[in-house]
Amino acid sequence: MKSAFLIITEDPDEIVELGRQIAMENPARYSDAMIARLWKKYADCVSGKEEFSATVYSAIYCQALYGTSIPEYVCYDFPHRTHEEKMNYVSWFSRYAYMTHLNCVKDLHFLDNKFEAYTLLKPYYRRDAMLLAGESDYPEFCDFAAKHKSIFVKPVNLELAEGVHRLEIDDGTDLHETFRSLLAEARAITSFEIRRPILHQLILEEFIVPSKAISQFNPSEMSLLRVTTVAVHGKIHFFYPCFRMMCGDGKTQCGEVYSMDALIDAETGVVTTVGMSGIAGEELYHPVSGVKIKGFVMPEWEALKTMLTDAAGQFPTLRYIGWDVVHTDHGWVIIEGNTNGEFFFQLCAGHGVKNEFEQLIGFKFNMPAGLRWDAILQGGEGENR
């Protein structure tokens, strides 16, 4: 039986060996299919299979000890961090300790269900949307498709952009066949990552057209902001707002795999860092458009903060919300709110924010030294709840 504790070490060879042992203990969790997915994603970042294996085993060790996901291990440069530095990162798993403290579990559905969130926050979404749940929704779908030729499709209660895609309607589109295909898509939803009960419903949204100020970075994909609100003693704080720029072509290369982030000053709306990616490194200029990143001033910044202060105020029992927003010709709009948003902005900060965050919220989370996260999670339920 495996120990609930793990040796704390900074020796690279020991870390690799301990990670290898953990992987062998958990063949279902660290399956060949999972390793193959990682190789596809990170092959360009390593010199070959040997370095890749060492990286994966080291990441598995850190996942067990610090609760980081494997992408976080890469993004946060853990190979060059001390134990104390690693402990100051809010990790994939440790964030749930803070979310449980700040957010009332029975009220998470307000935002976790994307259509419920749309209904509650419609004035801030500023676009049409409909719920596709079954056969009876066909007439509404036909009306929706008649009004909107470009539609954003999302599973109603997943995250991490799982199952998200764009649907184009034209004169040759067979609406009945498209509707049947969407129903089949909803019924077939599964997730390796997400552990919420799956509702097998879709939300269809009018496609958002970003303003020229935002689309100049990449006209082919919609870049966005993640602005985190933290409510403490009735005051809304904006914690490390971040500009997430997409770097794909919108077709063969798209989504968050091809993205980079930059920090935004919460007071002024000025982008304060270069663009950063855990895979591609740092960029002063956007790789698609050549537009300079650092120093860019977000449009209507005070209006955005007012909107999110009002929106966050609608949910007094959800005191931590990661808002995805984008600027349009009609002002800022909410894409969605996340009740367990990741702390990926630590990549841009260059350090962990655990101590700073705990000081802000007045709550401290401590783990016994060396305790394994899988012991806490009773064998683990994947990389999300």
Higher pLDDT, 45 or 365: 365
Please give, one letter per residue, the 3-state secondary structure of 57-115. HHHHHHHHHHCCCHHHHHHCCHHHCCHHHHHCCCCCCCHHHHHHHHECHHHCHHHHCHH
Task: Tell me the pLDDT tens digit for each residue of 325-357.
Answer: 999 999 999 999 999 999 999 999 999 999 999
The alpha carbon of 91 is separated from its chain's Cα centroid by a whole number of angstroms, namely: 13
**Burial group, residue 367, by CB count within 10 angstroms (0-12, 13-18, 19+):** middle
Q: What is the mean pLDDT of residues 47-57?
A: 88
Which of 3.30.1050.10, 3.90.105.10, 3.60.15.10, 3.30.1490.20 would CATH assign to domain 128-206? 3.30.1490.20
Model confidence over 67-113: pLDDT tens digits?
999 889 989 999 999 999 999 999 999 999 999 999 999 999 999 99
Percent of the chain with pLDDT over 70: 93
Per-residue pLDDT, 192 = 60
The number of residues making up the chain comes to 385
Taking the CA of residue 201 as centre, how many other CA atoms within 13 Å lie in the half-sphere pointing to its CB?
17
CATH number for the domain running over 210-339: 3.30.470
**Position 302 pLDDT exceeds 60:** yes
For the chain, domain boundaries: 12-93, 128-206, 210-339
pLDDT (tens digit per residue) in 157-175: 877 777 788 899 998 899 9
pLDDT at 42: 74
pLDDT band at 32 (very low <50, low <70, confident <90, very high): confident
